[in-house]
Structure 1
């Protein structure tokens, strides 16, 4: 992990989806590359995505943008709902703040604000599930899909639990710090440590610097997280995804079992599965280059259509077949 710096990003900009205001920015480097939108996980600010990974993606020819999901970072936070425990929300005590379709549409609002007719998507954790749903709901806007450290986007309720590690869930539920700026920093470091890769050293300094930069306490805001988890998906199954897809997962993920990635890759037609040795539920610096290279490979594979047609946005499109389903490397 590396601290996220405002020096390499444009000033914050805003996209609107109805009453929801979404904060986003763009990496200064690589502005003329292929559009790539990054989607972060549960309750987390976009600033938790390491600058080093974003720069590695820019070096691979991508124009990188990132945004805060609703109920995270600088984006709109909704009023409290009846369910204030994010893990209780998994058991159906959900409230009705918004739907998963609403969250998918948020990503499209950001693309519209960026002026991008279509883009590659990379989502991590909950962001991976959201990216899958965007590909289902708005396939013409998605060039390729990369889902990392995520459950299948159509998993719901108790069906989600088979993919989660209860021991880590219990530890996360016990992360309790004062509702102060200092408490938010300590909570951020604690959550980062719980999600860290077992095969790579935990960079506490970078985690602390990043935690100090985030816009709010979303990473330990149970109300906001419960609303995100409680957003139910009513759309088609992930077997309907047609865009070229890459599924990444760490074999040491302490929160989501690699079985989730295997199931996702097996069910999305033509998806390719890459298991990252020693990686947890985070984005450690030793694998930034590998992740960026895999996403570049996906984009290049997706650009070769047998009929020579162009994909949405005027860029070459992708044959959703081609790779063996669920092939792990």
Structure 2
């Protein structure tokens, strides 16, 4: 019998922000280098970021870490709010009932503290992209460079964000119903992967099922937790005030967040760079890993040439 594969990740650790505990780990194959923290998307745990992409980022000279947002993965899940919503209706809410977007930005800083990193490069995907924009506004001294991918502008809310969201896809996302069981988690993972994949590529159901079986993530169909995350309101400044070197990545075929969101971010954040990824949806397919790692590595090079 062959030995089981060794995980390239350290044992899970937890950072603390008030009553919230945040699960994180580090990529062990390249522990030295420029610190890079990865922030995940709506409902998704940190394991949805492919190991292959992390390996390429490590080869670019990064020490890679990743964490679960509050209400996701192995981090603290908050109790249900007074009004149960689905993610679509949460976008229309005037205020979040559970926590603020500032709280989520402070979660990122708590993870940096637990890692012993005074500052780091940040890469956020989807909801994580909005979160890292807010970290750059709220805690600029902790951010070396900022990469936001598949995200809406971090200072948007309600109708300002809705203009960039494909509501038909979000409504389909909200209608997904699966049993609260390992089998339901797998089915949800496959269904969400299909929903968010680029329509320009054949959907690889076998690969999607294998990924979901490796990572049975209840967050894929926990609509109450997703609603709390998406309902967290930002009360800080506009993204025009971001002064960190910024890269804006977006799938050209994103079926959930329109590329107009990326264009809006790039037009408003000073000296930012926009890269649209062909045949990429709201996802991280293997075909995109090289371009992403190259771009993030090049962005880090701009930080080495400047103070701060």
TM over 0.5, yes or no? Answer: yes
Alignment of 1:285-324 (within 5 A): 285-305=286-306, 309=307, 311=308
Q: Report the Cα distance in structure 1 between the residues aligned to 2:170 and 2:223, rounded to whole angstroms.
A: 13
- Deviation string for 1:45-74 (max 9, x for gaps)? 000000010001001000000000000000
Matched, 1:220 2:216: no
**1:214-247 Cα shifts (integer Å, max 9, x gaps):** 3641111110000001100000000000000000
Aligned runs of 1:36-185 on 2, under 5 Å? 36-81=36-81, 82-92=83-93, 94-185=95-186
Over 3 Å counting, the alpha-carbon distance change for 1:87 and 1:225 in structure 2 is same
Choose 82-91 or 122-131, whichever is displaced more: 82-91
User: What is the deviation of 1:303?
Assistant: 1.7
Q: Deviations over 1:272-297 (max 9, x none)?
A: 00111111000010110110000011
Give the equivalent residue in structure 2 for 1:19. 19
**CA shift digits 1:153-199 (9 cap, x unpaired):** 00111111100112211211221111111111101110011111233
Question: 3-state DSSP class of the match of 2:234?
Answer: coil
Q: What whole-Å deviation, never above 9, does each CA across 1:259-279 have from its counterpart, x for those lacking one?
A: 000000000001000111111
| Gap regions ≥5 residues in structure 1 | 312-329
**For residues 271 and 256 of structure 1, what CA distance do their matches in structure 2 show?**
19
Question: Is structure 2 residue 284 aligned with structure 1 residue 283?
Answer: yes
* SS of structure 1 residue aligned to 2:87: coil
Question: Is 1:206–2:207 an aligned residue pair?
Answer: yes
| Cα distance between partner residues in 1 of 2:292 and 2:52 | 11
Quote the offset at 1:201 in angstroms.
Answer: 3.9
Instruction: Call closer, same or farther: CA 1:94–1:179 in 2, change over 3 Å.
Output: farther
Report the Cα distance in structure 1 between the residues aligned to 2:203 and 2:107, rounded to whole angstroms. Answer: 32
Give me the CA root mean square deviation.
Answer: 1.4
Task: Tell me if structure 2 keeps the 8 A contact 1:74–1:215.
Answer: no
Deviation at 1:131, TM superposition (A): 0.6
Question: TM-score normalized by structure 2?
Answer: 0.95
